[in-house]
DNA sequence: GCCAACGTTGGC
DNA sequence: GCCAACGTTGGC
């Protein structure tokens, strides 16, 4: 799976003239300027055994083990504010060319017509190219998997068998526990290797995380029907159930490791095995897996030759350890964050959690590396205390900003007995102090009432159901990605979960003002994402995150004027509004009414609310392109405003089109 | 049983 | 051939 391919807008990149559009697939890469700096050459590799000084930290994305599959799909050109929009202004030539090649063509959008369930989409002569109707606008209703027993949680996205089309709607599938899926059906149904082979990448956005039916551990669903976490799957495979029985009530598998097990036979299995092994430690979907850059500060990073380390540990950066499948997950990450925030130098952070006199496998002739520790000046007492604070107790935290200084507020529950790493992880965002609810009614743009009653979320869910929205809207808005952040997902959890328990006092505030690294920026964005998912955003907006990382805010309701609108927030909190995949010009007045950076949930919410007050320019009819029996097509002027006041039908440029 | 160390290997 | 980072293992 390649999250680079997450494409939220639908289809058309013709404005940038580089996409052949043959497939109609949407491939939207995060802009290069947002990626970690690439170092193009490797100043002579040095043997791993030789400690060396830091050779500028190289950030390289194609790392060894996990394969990051590519495909031949043409990448969309940057459409980001600072690049594309600016490019439009700065490079009129290129832009002009694009316009000539492909004017912004748009189908006359008629939401009400599309909304009617029976309405079929007329066959267009060259639909993907000419219609800019986004996937969010497409008639998706038929593709949803309906189930009488809808469970609010455990929702993920997938395409139905045989439904790999260019305009993929947001689709949901119910957790397999609710649906019987036979393996043959899956295989013949053309659901190739989800998540690896997803056509437009939309399914990558939503984590397919579920709970292992055997051990309850959260895990990433690798393919439809997965019910067990990696471990249990392994065991299951070693004692496979008869082919036709799919959901056998697994008798608590004896989880004894059987060493000399059945020898794998067949190259196919080997390959499969290899692939499985490669991906064993990464789900590819969690925030950690989405991170591209090493922090350079954790113990594993410090150990890396590129950071001047001696390459003894040879592990992936702590921050990049998968939230679900890594064996090094989380505990130390928390330590790092805390200590980072605390201003303690990175070198001190990850020294032993446990005092060990000697370490395994050291060759007798090697230097005693314990000395090294003394060089650094770390006393064990320091170390243990630091670790204890974080590890032994529940820790919630949230970012706050005040006078330009960013703080981490950590809630530490002293009564909490020692918790597992998973617990820590899942408790991370349990603190509802930072959780805010916006009423779905677009009012009071800048006031975010505190979440008081979890029921309100439930009520909202029901509301939306009654209003006839799509299934996705029956999920609490903003919830899909929150699997990662441990937010309670279904109604029951909302009621019975930690929200009802008063969260302890904020006991520590750490300043983060100092140097901001690439990974800090990643984390800050993740943090915003987490906050967004603890917030009920304005009606039917959801936040998803994709590789980069990039936060994307989508309006899920086709009834909204903003159904085709996506707000994307990048590292550094730059944001961009685009309509049907086309970025608004920087000069658009909506930008002047909001902060340049979407740092805070409030800013985002306010922007979304504001957007709801606008509508999308419908362009002007392109008569010559339409044969009488074809649907009426509209095009937009080159410099179309895209978003216009609600009472207008098209923007100034489209009402007096220059072309023709 | 834990984990530092390191052999190993997929991906490039 | 190099590198990232996985799985394994011996010392504790
Ligand atoms: Zn790191
Ligand atoms: Zn992951």
Q: What is the DSSP string of A613-631?
A: TEEE---EE-GGG--TTSP
Helices (H), A178-290: 183-188, 202-205, 230-238, 267-279, 287-290
> Does nucleic acid strand C have an atom less than 7 angstroms from the CB of A360?
yes
Instruction: Identify nearest nucleotide to residue A314 by CA to C1′ distance.
Output: C5
CA A579 / C1′ B6 distance in Å: 52
For ligand 1, the distance from its centroid to the CA atom of residue A317, given in whole angstroms, is 4
ipTM > 0.90, yes or no:
yes
Interatomic distance A368 CA / C12 C1' (Å): 16
pLDDT at A400: 33
| Residues of chain A where predicted confidence (pLDDT) is lower than 70 | 1-212, 214-278, 329-516, 623-632, 657-660
The answer to whether strand C lies under 7 Å from the CB of residue A260 is no
Q: Which residue is nearest to nucleotide C6 (CA to C1')?
A: A65
Tell me the nt nearest to A321, Cα to C1': C5
Residues recorded for chain A: 660
Find the Å distance, CA of residue A303 to C1' of nucleotide B10: 21
pLDDT at A222: 60
Q: Tell me which residue of A451, A563, A599 sits closest to A8, measured CA to CA.
A: A563
**Is the CB atom of residue A64 positioned under 7 angstroms from any atom of strand C?**
yes
Q: Does residue A404 approach strand C to less than 7 Å at its CB?
A: no
Q: Which residue is nearest to nucleotide C3 (CA to C1')?
A: A64
pLDDT of residue A152: 31
Instruction: Tell me which protein residue sits closest to nucleotide B9, measuring alpha carbon to C1'.
Output: A65
| End-to-end Cα distance, chain A | 44
Three-class secondary structure of residue A27 per DSSP:
coil
Nucleotides of C under 7 A from a protein CB: 1-7, 9-12
Ligand nearest to the CA of A296: 1
Structure tokens at A425: 């992880």
CB environment A363-375: b (16+ within 10 A), e (fewer): eeeeeeeeeebee
Nearest in space to A108 (alpha carbons), one of A660, A635, A629: A635
CA A294 – ligand 1 centroid, Å? 5
Q: Closest ligand to A329 CA?
A: 2
In 3D, which of A514, A518, A515 has the Cα closest to residue A39? A518
Whether the upstream peptide bond of residue A590 has omega within 30° of 0, thus cis, is no
Q: How far is the CA of A39 from the C1' of B2 (A)?
A: 37
Closest ligand to Cα A288 = 2
DSSP-derived letter for residue A281 is: T
Give distance in angstroms: CA of A28 to centre of ligand 1.
Answer: 27
A574 bridge partner residues:
A597
Q: Which residues contact A95 (CB under 8 A, 6 or more apart)?
A: A87, A88, A638
Separation of CA A471 and ligand 2 centre (Å): 26
Query: Does residue A650 lie within 7 Å of nucleic acid chain C, judged by its CB?
Result: no
| Alpha carbon distance A208, A590 (integer Å) | 35
Question: Tens of pLDDT along A556-590?
Answer: 888 888 888 999 998 889 999 999 888 999 889 99
Helices A380-391 & A331-342 angle (0-180, nearest 10): 110
CA angle A495/A496/A502 to nearest 5° reads 95
**CB contact set of A335 (below 8 Å; sequence gap of 6+):** A349, A350, A386, A387, A390, A391
Q: What confidence score (pLDDT) does residue A225 get? A: 66
What is the pLDDT, as a whole number, of residue A605? 92
**A314 CA to B5 C1' distance (Å):** 9
Per DSSP bridges, beta strands A575-579 and A565-570 are antiparallel
User: Residue holding tokens 């279904």?
Assistant: A490
Q: What is the pLDDT of residue A567?
A: 94
Q: Is the CB of A357 under 7 A from strand C?
A: yes
From the CA of A618, how far away is ligand 1's center (Å)?
A: 48
User: What does the pLDDT read at residue A149?
Assistant: 30
A142 CB inside 7 Å of strand B: no
CA of A284 to the centre of ligand 2 (A): 5
Angstrom distance, A362 CA to B6 C1': 10
The reported pLDDT for the residue numbered A525 is 87
Nearest CA among A128, A207, A231 for reference residue A529: A207
Measure CA to C1' and name the residue nearest C9: A361
Query: CA A298 – C1' C1 distance (Å)?
Result: 28
Quickly give A449 CA vs C6 C1' distance in Å: 47
Whole-angstrom distance, CA of residue A302 vs CA of residue A317: 9
Give the sign of the dihedral formed by CA A369, CA A374, CA A375, CA A377: positive
Instruction: Specify whether the CB–CB gap between A611 and A565 falls below 8 A.
Output: yes
The per-residue pLDDT for A218 is 63
Kindly state the tokens that stand for A66: 């996990």
Under a CB-based contact definition with an 8 Å cutoff, are residues A350 and A297 in contact?
A: no
Dist. CA A650–CA A55, nearest whole Å? 55
Distance in Å, residue A165 CA to nucleotide C9 C1'? 49
What whole-number distance in Å separates Cα of residue A79 and Cα of residue A86?
9
Beta bridge partners of A643: A616
Structure-block tokens of residue A600? 């805070």
- Positions of strand B less than 7 angstroms from a protein CB: 2-12
pTM here is 0.37
The alpha carbon of A400 is separated from its chain's Cα centroid by a whole number of angstroms, namely 22
Residue A344 CA to ligand 1 center (angstroms) comes to 15
């Amino acid at each position: 799976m390649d999250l680079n391919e997450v494409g939220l807008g639908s289809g058309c990149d013709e404005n940038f003239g580089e996409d052949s559009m043959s497939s109609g697939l949407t491939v939207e890469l995060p802009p290069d300027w947002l990626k970690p700096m690439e170092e193009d050459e490797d100043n002579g590799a040095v043997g791993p055994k030789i400690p060396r000084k830091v050779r500028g930290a190289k950030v390289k994305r194609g790392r060894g083990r996990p394969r990051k599959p590519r495909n031949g799909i043409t990448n969309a050109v940057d459409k980001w504010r600072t690049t594309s929009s600016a490019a439009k202004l700065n490079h009129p030539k290129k832009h002009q060319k694009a316009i000539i090649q492909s004017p912004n063509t748009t189908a006359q959008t008629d939401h009400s017509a599309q909304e009617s369930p029976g309405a079929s989409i007329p066959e267009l002569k060259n639909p993907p190219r000419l219609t800019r109707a986004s996937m969010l606008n497409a008639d998706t209703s038929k593709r949803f998997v309906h189930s009488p027993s809808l469970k609010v949680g455990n929702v993920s996205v997938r395409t139905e068998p045989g439904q790999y089309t260019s305009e993929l709607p947001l689709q949901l599938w119910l957790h397999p526990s609710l649906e019987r899926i036979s393996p043959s059906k899956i295989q013949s149904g053309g659901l190739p290797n989800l998540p690896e082979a997803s056509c437009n990448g939309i399914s990558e956005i939503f984590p397919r995380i579920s709970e292992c039916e055997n051990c309850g551990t959260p895990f990433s669903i690798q393919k439809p029907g997965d019910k067990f976490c990696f471990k249990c799957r392994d065991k299951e495979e070693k004692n496979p159930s008869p082919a036709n029985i799919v959901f056998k009530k697994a008798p608590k598998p004896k989880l004894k490791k059987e060493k000399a097990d059945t020898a794998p036979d067949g190259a196919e299995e080997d390959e499969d095995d290899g692939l499985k092994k490669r991906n064993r430690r990464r789900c590819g979907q969690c925030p950690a897996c989405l991170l591209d850059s090493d922090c350079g500060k954790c113990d594993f990073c410090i150990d890396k030759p590129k950071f001047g380390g001696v390459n003894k540990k040879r592990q992936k950066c702590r921050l990049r350890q998968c939230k679900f499948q890594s064996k090094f997950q989380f505990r130390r990450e928390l330590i790092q964050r805390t200590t980072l925030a605390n201003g303690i130098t990175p070198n001190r952070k990850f020294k032993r959690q446990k005092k060990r006199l000697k370490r395994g496998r050291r060759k007798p002739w090697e230097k005693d590396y314990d000395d090294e520790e003394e060089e650094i000046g770390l006393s064990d007492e320091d170390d243990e205390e630091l670790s204890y604070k974080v590890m032994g107790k529940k820790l919630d935290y949230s970012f706050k900003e005040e006078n330009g200084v960013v703080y981490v507020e950590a809630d530490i529950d002293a009564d909490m007995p020692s918790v597992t790493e998973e617990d820590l992880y899942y408790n991370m965002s349990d603190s509802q102090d930072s959780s805010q609810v916006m009423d779905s009614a677009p009012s009071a743009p800048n006031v975010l009432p505190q979440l008081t009653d979890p029921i309100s979320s439930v009520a909202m869910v029901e509301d939306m159901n009654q209003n006839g929205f799509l299934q996705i809207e029956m999920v609490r808005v903003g919830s899909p990605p929150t699997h990662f952040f441990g937010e309670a997902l279904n109604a029951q959890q909302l009621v019975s979960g930690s929200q009802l328990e008063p969260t302890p006092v904020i006991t520590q505030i750490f300043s983060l003002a100092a140097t901001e690294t690439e990974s800090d920026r990643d984390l800050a964005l993740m943090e915003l994402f987490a906050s967004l998912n603890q917030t009920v955003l304005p009606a039917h907006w959801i936040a998803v995150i994709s590789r980069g990382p990039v936060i994307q805010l989508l309006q899920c309701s086709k009834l909204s004027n903003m159904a085709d609108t996506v707000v994307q927030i990048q590292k550094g909190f730059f944001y961009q509004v685009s309509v049907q995949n086309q970025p608004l010009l920087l000069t658009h007045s909506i930008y002047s009414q909001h902060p340049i950076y979407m740092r805070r949930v409030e800013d985002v919410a306010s922007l979304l609310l504001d957007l709801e007050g606008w509508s999308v320019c419908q362009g002007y009819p392109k008569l010559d392109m339409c044969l009488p029996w074809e649907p009426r097509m509209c095009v937009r002027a080159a410099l179309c405003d895209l978003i216009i006041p609600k009472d207008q039908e098209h923007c100034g440029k489209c009402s007096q089109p220059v072309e023709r």
